[in-house]
Amino acid sequence: MVRMALGVSYDGRPWFGWQTQPNGQTVQDQLEAALKQFVGVAVPTICAGRTDTGVHATAQVVHFDVPVQRSNVSWVRGLNSLLPDSIAIQWACPVVPEFHARFSALSRSYTYLLINTPVRQPLWAGRAGWCFRPLDLERMQQASKVLIGEHDFSSFRSSQCQAATPIRTMHEIDIRRDGDLVLIHLKANAFLHHMVRNIVGELVLLGQGKTDIAHFERIFKALDRTQAAPTYSASGLYLTDVQYPESLLSKPAMTNTPILQL
C-alpha cells in the first residue's frame, strides 16, 4: 500500500460541503468516485478540514492509501480528467505512512472575501460575502488582536460543533483592502465549526460602527454564542493553506502556491 497526499481546490457553490452524504453531492463523494474509477478499487479519503456547504478551498489537503503506484503527474492529470470542473487536483505526492491530513497539520489558514460596495456585484455572487456599508478596517484590525493566542472561542462556536474543546490557538489575523474587496485572513492551529464566519460577523458589525472595540472584547470573553453576531455567509470563505512538519510533507512537494494566501 502507498499513502498519497493531494492538494485539492474547489468551488463550493455546487456542493453540500466536503463530507460524504447519501445524495453523493459533496466534494469527498466526487473525489472518491474519481479515485475508484482511476485505480479500480474504492479509496476512502481523509481531509485536513471539513468545509461546509458553499465554502471553497484553494489548498485542501487529502490523504489516502492505495495498492497501486502512479507518477505524481499521472495522479493530477488522471483524476482531473474524471472530476467536475468545480474540483481540481493541484498537486500529488507520496508521503510516509505516519502522515495524516488532519492530525499531522500544524495550522490551517482561511481567507474570507468580502465585497464592500453600496450595490451588490453579480459576478461575485457565491464567491464573496457582501457588506454595503463602508467598513473601518483599522478598527476591525485593532479589535481582532484580542483573538491572538490560546483562548476559549465559545462565543464564536456553532451550537452544532462537535469538537471536544473550544480552546484554539490563533496565530495570525490580517485584514486588508484591495479596491472594493476586503480580505480577512486567519491562521490557527485548528478552527471550530463556523468559527471564522462568526468572527467575521462580529468584525463587520464593528467595522460598520454599530459596535465598538470594547463591545467586541466583551462578546469574546462572554463565552456565549447567543450574544455574538449572526454567522456570516459561507460564500466568501476559502480554505487557503494547511501547514505540516517538513519531515512529513515539504513545501517543495506542494507545487502550486495557494492563490489567496496572504
- Closest C-alpha among 153, 49, 63 to residue 106: 49
Is 232 assigned a ligand-binding role in the annotation?
Answer: no
Interacting residues of 35 by C-beta distance below 8 A, sequence separation 6+? 43, 45, 64, 66, 79
- Closest C-alpha among 10, 13, 110, 8 to residue 54: 13
- Closest C-alpha among 59, 54, 41 to residue 5: 59
Q: Which of 11, 29, 52, 65 is catalytic?
A: 52
Burial class of residue 120 (count of CB atoms within 10 Å of its CB; 0-12, 13-18, 19+) = exposed
Burial 48-71 (b: 16+ CB within 10 A, else e): bbbbbebbbbbbbbbbbebeeebe
- Closest C-alpha among 242, 5, 246 to residue 111: 242
Q: What cell was used for 188? A: 490557527
4 SS3 class: strand
Catalytic annotation on 52?
Answer: yes
| Rounded Cα gap, residues 13 and 23, in angstroms | 16
Tell me the catalytic residues.
52
Annotated binding site: 110
Annotated binding site for substrate: 110
